[in-house]
Structure 1
Amino acid sequence: MSLFFFVYAYTFINVQQPQAVPTTVPNMNVMGQVVNKTKRPVVMQTITNEKPPPPILPVRILELEATIENRPTTIDEKSPAVLKYRTPHFRASATLKFPPLEEGEHWKVGWIQSCTRMDFFNSYGDSGYSSWEFPQLMSGQNPMISDSDGRNYPFYGSKSEVIELQGPFSDYRTIKVLMNDNFYPHITWDIPTSNERLSRLTNVRRHQTFYTWLVAMNAKNGSILVLKTITWQMNLEINVDPTKPQGSRAVLISNPIPIQPEILKQNIRIPTCVLYPPNANSAQILVWHPGRRPGEISQRPEIVVPPRCDYVLHQNPYYDHYIRHKTHTSVQNKLNGGSSSSSSTSTSSSSSSSSSENKPLVVQPPTHDAYCRLIHPQTSGHKPAPIPGNRCYNGVKHILEDHARLAQGVIVR
């Protein structure tokens, strides 16, 4: 026992106390006596248990740009069934230098986006209002939701939005990733539970906010390095006079000049929920609130358009008392399935991204000290029970969970 204590104490002293180590050996005569007693500088060496700093992946951001087209939202009243509007495009572009990779290394560089808020109200006078909603946000289940295209989680898209790099290569590579987003929804002139084509729409109000991350993802272990964070929003309001003839009913009353994106100085951590399905387009629902004003919850709200992924509601008791309305086929056709009420699809993104080169952009000065932070999904100790309508969820989650078990902390500059 005493020997153990001595060894432990000696080690503790080595950790805490500096040791003086002479830089030179003093001159000595043949008798072993010191000849030169001049003081010499010493080096103070401290022995600690601290681990060496984590390895640094020298990714360099050469250019970073983010902007929203400086034009107003356009309104289209040509359809007898629905009002359409098209918002200006949000565009982001990044040019980076990626370091050499060894054999077997595999990285993906691109954009991840999430929606953090959605207020989307369509008013029909005294009849009530409809609301496009994300159940995860409405119930407070998650702080945000993935805006992935649904085919290449967790990335926003599958084309210009992400680039794959596989080793080996010995030189730095310059790469560029682009993305863009806008909205082009269809809103019925009549209340969504009606099978008629009356003109009762009186107001449209929409406010959405987003985080967009530029990231580098290690495809071998799932670790994600956040290179930069952008925040942006879309805010609009349209007044509609249902008594006027079609073609002259709707007027944009919100500020026609969009608020420009902000490139944050400090990165925002990506929540785990953004890495998993469902994405925004497969989780959104359309709810009808009869006899209420926007923001007021009716006693018996009706879900007119259910989510594409059924388990979104299956796991969310917030909507247990909502009526599941059997929407008429004609109304479903008018709504176009609700697919255009949220973020634009990857098809529209890819078709418009080619024109981003000619658009004025807000330029971020080149930086060589972009702080990056590792995040990876947290795994639970138990497997969830099977969920009905879970096809859009299976397959992806277990891959990310495997990555999470392998992920290790890395800091990148």
Structure 2
Amino acid sequence: MTIDKELSRFKVVKSHASIDQTETIIYENQATLNYVTPHFRVEADVEIPALKDGEVFTVGWVQAVTAMKFNNFYPMGQSSWELPELNNHRTTAVSDADGRQYPWYGVTTECVCVQGPRPPCTVRLSMNDNFSPTVSWAVPVGKDQPDSLQKVERDQSFKVWLVVKNEEKNTYKVLKGYKWRAVINIAVDCSLAQGMRAKLLEPKMQKQPEEIKDLSIPNSALHSPRANEAQKFVWRTKDTEIVFEVACTPRFCLQMLPEYSHKYHHRYAPYPMK
């Protein structure tokens, strides 16, 4: 990543990152377990210098997934959300951009584009993130499966960078960086009545984010594919692995018998990652 002298004029006045000190909330519906995690929040005030005519810069937050384990356990196997690029060590980070304007996490409070001529000013940039997925009580492949979910384990790590981009030269500079992690463990007993099945295990409170001293950013964090496009939904038993290619916002559960002894690819998935 090339850095030019114009980018060095941008300064962070102050910044702060935190995770809400609340427990993950669990909801039990007829077909699914749903949970909502506490929010990661980060904001910064950035001093923007006076800009000359023709100068265009964008300042904002860039986030990438750096590790992900998301497993749902049943007596006959387990399902998981996976990022193959991370699992195979082909990259150290997968972009978590919203997909509308790479590389930014979002395009509202998360980034701002400034164009000269204009006087100096200070802008506040903020973002937040959390998970609110659904998990099937029943095995997510096959027909008329009984409710048998046993536990949910999720351990996901992120890095987030405050970045300024020279739009004319396509160069970047990282102004600030943080890393954060979400760990969720839920025990499930489907023999109990709905509303009493799921129990949140430790850690019930998430660790606070840490500032990154090394402000280098991998190229994969700045470009596609983003995590919502790169993720795969996988069903595994002792003899079977079925890999579902994921549509970005699927909201239905496939009815497919897990009768394959070889790897099988399907182009849809039951539920999204977040």
Following TM superposition, by how much is the alpha carbon of 1:326 offset from its aligned partner in structure 2, in angstroms?
A: 7.4
| In 1: Cα distance, 2:147 partner to 2:5 partner | 63
Name the CA shift for 1:54/1:181 in 2 (closer, same or farther; >3 Å).
Answer: closer
Other-structure match for 1:180 = 128
Contact map agreement 2:242 2:263 (CA 8 A) in 1:
yes
Following TM superposition, by how much is the alpha carbon of 1:198 offset from its aligned partner in structure 2, in angstroms?
A: 2.0
| In 2: Cα distance, 1:245 partner to 1:96 partner | 52
Other-structure match for 1:273 = 220
Q: Which runs of 5+ in 2 are unaligned?
A: 249-261
TM value normalised by structure 2: 0.89
Contact map agreement 2:34 2:135 (CA 8 A) in 1:
yes
How is 1:47-86 mapped onto 2 (pairs within 5 angstroms)? Answer: 57-77=8-28, 79-86=29-36
| In 2: Cα distance, 1:145 partner to 1:95 partner | 26
Other-structure match for 1:153 = 102
Q: Is 1:244–2:192 an aligned residue pair? A: yes
| In 2: Cα distance, 1:228 partner to 1:154 partner | 16
| In 1: Cα distance, 2:109 partner to 2:159 partner | 19
Contact map agreement 2:70 2:82 (CA 8 A) in 1:
yes
| In 2: Cα distance, 1:112 partner to 1:141 partner | 20
Following TM superposition, by how much is the alpha carbon of 1:173 offset from its aligned partner in structure 2, in angstroms?
A: 0.6
Following TM superposition, by how much is the alpha carbon of 1:57 offset from its aligned partner in structure 2, in angstroms?
A: 2.8
| In 2: Cα distance, 1:180 partner to 1:56 partner | 25
SS in 2 for 1:227: strand
How many pairs are equivalent? Answer: 258
Paired residue type of 1:69: D
| In 1: Cα distance, 2:221 partner to 2:7 partner | 25
Contact map agreement 1:102 1:167 (CA 8 A) in 2:
yes
Name the CA shift for 1:324/1:197 in 2 (closer, same or farther; >3 Å).
Answer: same
| In 2: Cα distance, 1:326 partner to 1:109 partner | 36
Match of 2:246 among 282, 288, 307: 307
Higher helix share: 1
TM value normalised by structure 1: 0.60
Contact map agreement 2:7 2:173 (CA 8 A) in 1:
no
Other-structure match for 1:258 = 206
SS in 2 for 1:111: strand
How is 1:4-15 mapped onto 2 (pairs within 5 angstroms)? Answer: none
Paired residue type of 1:155: W
SS in 2 for 1:282: helix
Match of 1:93 among 43, 52, 66: 43
Contact map agreement 2:17 2:41 (CA 8 A) in 1:
yes
Other-structure match for 1:219 = 167
Following TM superposition, by how much is the alpha carbon of 1:197 offset from its aligned partner in structure 2, in angstroms?
A: 5.3
SS in 1 for 2:43: strand
Contact map agreement 1:231 1:261 (CA 8 A) in 2:
yes
Other-structure match for 2:79 = 130
Higher strand share: 2
Following TM superposition, by how much is the alpha carbon of 1:194 offset from its aligned partner in structure 2, in angstroms?
A: 2.4
Deviations 1:26-74 (A, max 9, x none): xxxxxxxxxxxxxxxxxxxxxxxxxxx9567322211101000000000
Match of 1:289 among 225, 236, 240: 236
Name the CA shift for 1:56/1:114 in 2 (closer, same or farther; >3 Å).
Answer: closer
How is 1:227-242 mapped onto 2 (pairs within 5 angstroms)? Answer: 227-242=175-190
SS in 2 for 1:109: strand
Contact map agreement 2:179 2:209 (CA 8 A) in 1:
yes
SS in 1 for 2:26: strand
Following TM superposition, by how much is the alpha carbon of 1:325 offset from its aligned partner in structure 2, in angstroms?
A: 4.4
| In 1: Cα distance, 2:211 partner to 2:25 partner | 27
Other-structure match for 1:367 = none
Match of 2:54 among 96, 104, 108: 104
| In 2: Cα distance, 1:190 partner to 1:326 partner | 20
Match of 1:113 among 63, 86, 101: 63
Other-structure match for 2:255 = none
| In 1: Cα distance, 2:245 partner to 2:5 partner | 47
Deviations 1:7-41 (A, max 9, x none): xxxxxxxxxxxxxxxxxxxxxxxxxxxxxxxxxxx
Contact map agreement 1:112 1:213 (CA 8 A) in 2:
yes
SS in 2 for 1:57: helix
SS in 2 for 1:96: strand
Following TM superposition, by how much is the alpha carbon of 1:300 offset from its aligned partner in structure 2, in angstroms?
A: 3.4
Deviations 1:307-358 (A, max 9, x none): 349xxxxxxxxxxx6212477xxxx6xx3xx33x23xxxxxxxxxxxxxxxx
Contact map agreement 2:20 2:39 (CA 8 A) in 1:
yes
Name the CA shift for 1:326/1:101 in 2 (closer, same or farther; >3 Å).
Answer: closer
Query: Considering only aligned residues, what root-mean-square deviation do their CA atoms show, in Å?
Result: 1.8
